[in-house]
Amino acid sequence: MNKFLQKLWQSPAKVPLVSLSTAATGIVLNHLIGQSGKVELTPTIATDMLLALGALLFSVGGVAYSYYKDLEQLKKVHEEEVQVRNGIVFKRGKRTGGQWMPFCPVCEMPADPTVYPKCPDPKCGWQPTVMVKRQVDEIIARLPP
């Protein structure tokens, strides 16, 4: 049931479903107000409305909690160690295969370490002034094992 609700919430059908439930609530309230302009709720209807509101809040909380759990899982998958040396960002995590690799300190893209670390994005264009690949290898060798 939870998976069904998650898929329903992620589908484009959520907009018409929310709109229909809002319109239905408006129609019911309008009917209850009646000609007199005063809201006349019997204890049974008031209890039903409170229970429906509680169920709605509970389901919204459930959806929010499922997003929170997904976010925590994604954080663990993308968790990285970060060190900054000589103006270069070095990262180590799952996407680097557990190896320290240089990253562009400006746009955070993986730097091209083949000759010297420079940003592969021509729009960014970051490159260190005097750094050569051997110096980068020495820095990586001094990073935590």
List interacting residues with Zn ion (CB under 5 A).
Answer: 104, 106-107, 119, 121, 124, 126
CB of 118 to Zn ion, least distance (A): 8
Of 62 and 110, nearer to Zn ion (C-beta) is: 110
Of 116 and 126, nearer to Zn ion (C-beta) is: 126
CB of 109 to Zn ion, least distance (A): 5
Bridge-partner residues for 110, per DSSP? 103
CB of 133 to Zn ion, least distance (A): 18
Q: How many CB atoms lie within 10 A of CB 136?
A: 22
Of 24 and 106, nearer to Zn ion (C-beta) is: 106
